[in-house]
Chains A and B, each alone.
Chain A
Amino acid sequence: MQFDDQGRVNKSKKRAVFNQPEAKNRVELFRHLPQYEHGSQLTDLESKFLELDSMHPAVYKVGVQYLAGDVTGGNARCIAMLRAFQEVINDYSTPPGKTLVRDLTAKISSYVSFLIECRPLSMSMGNAIRFQKSRIAKLPLTLSETEAKAALCNDIDRFINEKIILADKVIVRHAATKVRDGDVLLTYGSSCVVEMILLYAHELGKQFRVVVVDSRPKHEGQALLRRLLAKGLSCTYTHINAVSYIMHEVTRVFLGASSVLSNGTTYSRVGTACVAMVAHAFRVPVLICCEAYKFHERVQLDSICSNELGDSNDIARVPGRPDVNSMDNRTNEKNLQFLNLMYDATPSEYVSMIITDYGMIPPTSVPVIVREYRREYLLI
């Protein structure tokens, strides 16, 4: 939904589960994206915890975790959501006079719109939900309720195991062959697949060092750095402003992705495009590691038409430095707007190879995978 359409925004507000005041001072170019005042959202949602009969507590918990930022990262959000849906299915009982298929689909839709209110869905989550709904729709009518529920829970388990966990293992095996002794690997932000690759290559005994590039406001690289250091890898830590200074030492760049689109564009954390571009200028190969369930048939040419806006106070403040406060309380000035983008789009010419669970493919082969293999899991 485009958020600059006032009529539809008002309609969706009436159906909303909890009240979110919109941010007042928004950048004109991004008016079509939702942006809310972040201060009171969490307290509003928490105070409604027990009042909503229609919401399953597991889904509520996941929503609160998304809103508070406790769970981030495409794979983690997807797994948390699917586990919550498993609990929903286990606790579900068909009301009299309704069919399981239609009623459960309606329930899942309402939970999904609640999760969207807490935080907009990532594309991996969108694909997982579509898979889930298609499995519910394909349930044979002859099954009893308990059998149907068991079958659905099994399907969710299979999805998580095959599409996420096993896919990660395959990606890690493929990518580890690309790491040679003496390599200097660069990674940006914190991607769980890239972390697994680095740890696996280290276990295999390859000698390499890692450069972790990080950026404000989230500093996601710091958690990755801590875990790598704990395993004994030698790391360098720098911020994105220095990426062109460090790129001359680097031999390979491994990046994660939130999604890969049909024209080969990689949609991932803001700053990835910058790192890929600098690497391309220095002729360093860029490898994107992404599971196939995150592929999407959409085509996107820029980072503007579809993105996510974060809290503008995050860029106004520096955590741990209350004395750096010249930007504080300026969010409502007329001449000044804060823009905190969360995602960006990396064009396919900066990407050398995409490593997926179907193998190592060039970015131009993404529509082939979407066409051939996406139909497959709908038929299992």
Chain B
Amino acid sequence: EVPKALLPVANRPVLSYVLEQLELSNIKDLIVVVEGADAALRVGGWISAAYVDRLHVEVATVPEDVGTAGALRAIAHHLTAKDVLVVSGDLVSDVPPGAVTAAHRRHDAVVTAMICSVPVSGLSEAGSSGAKDKTKKPGRYNIIGMDPTKQFLLHIATGAELEKDTRIRKSILRAVGQMDIRADLMDAHMYAFNRSVLQEVLDQKDKFQSLKQDVLPYLVRSQLKSEILINGAPQGQQAKENGNDKVSYRILANASTPSFHELYALGPNGSAPVRRTHKCCVYIASNSKYCVRLNSIQAFMDINRDVIGEANHLSGYNFSAQNNIIHPSAELGSKTTVGPHCMLGEGSQMGDKCSVKRSVIGRHCRIGSNVKVVNSVVMNHVTIGDGCSIQGSVICSNAQLQERVALKDCQVGQGYVVSAGCEYKGESLARKEK
């Protein structure tokens, strides 16, 4: 199976969107961490083919199931800069990473997370198909607490661990005065970390597996009772510096409006700082930017649709007059219509009287006549017989559909053969592993 990072979105691997965004922001030195040896090989092979001169990428392999925190521990010795930008490989967005890093530097924060609004079609549970659920479960959702100026992150809890109630630190609430809690935002998995703090947390807390579930909430919870040493942090270390530095630091500190961290850190009479705090900042992606994570099948279909449709500046292709992309080597039969927001890959052949609406068709597909493809994703080297009707489905590479197959909301695995005349609704068809 293709590794998740190389799943095609609009006929480009999803990892390419991340790399392109980083290249546009002038970040040339990257480390791509992949779980599992074969996946790493394939990712590495693709990257060196596609980005050989433009980016300097190092592919690191980690064993499976160590989680994102474990992955960072494995490559910790490669990290040398003062701040580290961590991006998940399945993020499709056009938010410039520069904005996140600028917010990080401006406040000298320990971690800055990018937050975006939940995509409209909602996050459904991975693997469950829509037809079976009669009741609309809200599924996974996130609770994010911010201060009124929307710059600092006060509370974060992801849906997986939320049952009935959520606990908020009273000290944080008392220090900041007012906290806005929102459930319509989600964590976009782009973080800027202060490198020394990140390494310290990863070393001290061995049990942390995931950045999103463990490290980030830990840093947010402990922001007013900081247990980590920040290099060169003036708070609490002032006695060591000589008098002149103290004065200039005080001039600078008095000049800016103190954030609630500094106010909390002051002693009872506003005297010298007695408590150590660190700042967790947040950057909210504006609504005009597109930002979605590929973490479920529903999201996969939505992203495919959006990248050809509304967010088509992301795909980087040129659109034809009918607002779709047809590769010059694709052949269309007579009376075949390809609607707007569609994409046909190279070498694909379509028979007569077909209709394609809002779908992505990969390379070298052979599609018979009288086929209707609506709202679907068809990957490379697929053979579809005559008279098929495919709606809302994902058909992976090398699959074969014989005649008069009707699929609705299905996922067909790689290399699977669907026999003639079958009708499936809301099912996952895959070859049984021997």
* 12 sampled A-B residue pairs with Cβ under 8 A: A50-B26, A51-B24, A51-B25, A51-B98, A61-B105, A71-B256, A76-B252, A76-B254, A79-B248, A160-B248, A161-B244, A230-B269
Are A71 and B101 interface neighbours, CB within 8 A?
Answer: no
Instruction: Point out residues on B near A: beta carbons under 8 Å.
Output: 24-27, 96-99, 101-103, 105-106, 244, 247-248, 251-252, 254-258, 266, 269-271, 286
Q: In the assembled complex, how far is the CB of residue B417 from the closest CB belonging to chain A, in whole angstroms? A: 48
Are A49 and B257 interface neighbours, CB within 8 A?
Answer: no
Interface residues on A, range: 35 or more
Are A68 and B106 interface neighbours, CB within 8 A?
Answer: yes
Are B101 and A50 interface neighbours, CB within 8 A?
Answer: yes
Docked CA distance A71–B102 (Å)? 16
A-B contacts besides A47-B98, A76-B252, A226-B270, 6 pairs, CB < 8 Å: A50-B97, A51-B25, A52-B26, A164-B248, A227-B270, A231-B269
Docked CA distance A50–B104 (Å)? 12
Also in contact, A61 and B24, with CB within 8 A (given A46-B98, A50-B97): no
Q: Which of A39-80 touch B at CB < 8 Å? A: 43, 45-53, 57, 60-61, 64-65, 68-73, 75-77, 79-80
Q: In the assembled complex, how far is the CB of residue B390 from the closest CB belonging to chain A, in whole angstroms? A: 40
Which of chain A's residues have a CB closer than 8 A to the CB of B25? 50-51
A368 interface residue per 8 A CB criterion = no
Which of chain A's residues have a CB closer than 8 A to the CB of B98? 46-51
Are A227 and B27 interface neighbours, CB within 8 A?
Answer: no
Which of chain A's residues have a CB closer than 8 A to the CB of B27? 50
Docked CA distance A73–B244 (Å)? 19
Also in contact, A72 and B255, with CB within 8 A (given A51-B26, A227-B270): yes
Q: Is the interface of A mostly helix, strand, loop or mixed?
A: helix
Also in contact, A230 and B105, with CB within 8 A (given A70-B257, A72-B255): no
Instruction: Point out residues on A near B: beta carbons under 8 Å.
Output: 43, 45-53, 57, 60-61, 64-65, 68-73, 75-77, 79-80, 160-161, 164-165, 168, 190, 192, 195, 223, 226-227, 229-232
Which of chain B's residues have a CB closer than 8 A to the CB of A190? 254
Docked CA distance A303–B61 (Å)? 65
The residue on B at minimum CB distance from A72 is B255
Which of chain A's residues have a CB closer than 8 A to the CB of B96? 47-51
Also in contact, A49 and B102, with CB within 8 A (given A226-B270, A230-B269): yes
Are B254 and A223 interface neighbours, CB within 8 A?
Answer: yes
Docked CA distance A77–B96 (Å)? 28
Are B252 and A168 interface neighbours, CB within 8 A?
Answer: no
Are B26 and A165 interface neighbours, CB within 8 A?
Answer: no
Also in contact, A192 and B251, with CB within 8 A (given A53-B26, A165-B244, A231-B270): yes
Within 8 Å by CB of A223, from B101, B244, B252, B258, lies B258
The residue on B at minimum CB distance from A77 is B255
Q: Which 7 pairs of residues, A with B, have the shortest CB-CB distance?
A: A230-B270, A76-B255, A49-B98, A49-B102, A46-B102, A50-B98, A73-B255
Are A45 and B102 interface neighbours, CB within 8 A?
Answer: yes
Are B254 and A192 interface neighbours, CB within 8 A?
Answer: yes
Are B103 and A46 interface neighbours, CB within 8 A?
Answer: yes
Q: In the assembled complex, how far is the CB of residue B3 from the closest CB belonging to chain A, in whole angstroms? A: 28
Are B248 and A72 interface neighbours, CB within 8 A?
Answer: no
Docked CA distance A75–B251 (Å)? 7
Docked CA distance A80–B271 (Å)? 23
Q: In the assembled complex, how far is the CB of residue B170 from the closest CB belonging to chain A, in whole angstroms? A: 23
Which of chain B's residues have a CB closer than 8 A to the CB of A45? 102
Which of chain A's residues have a CB closer than 8 A to the CB of B254? 73, 76, 190, 192, 195, 223, 227
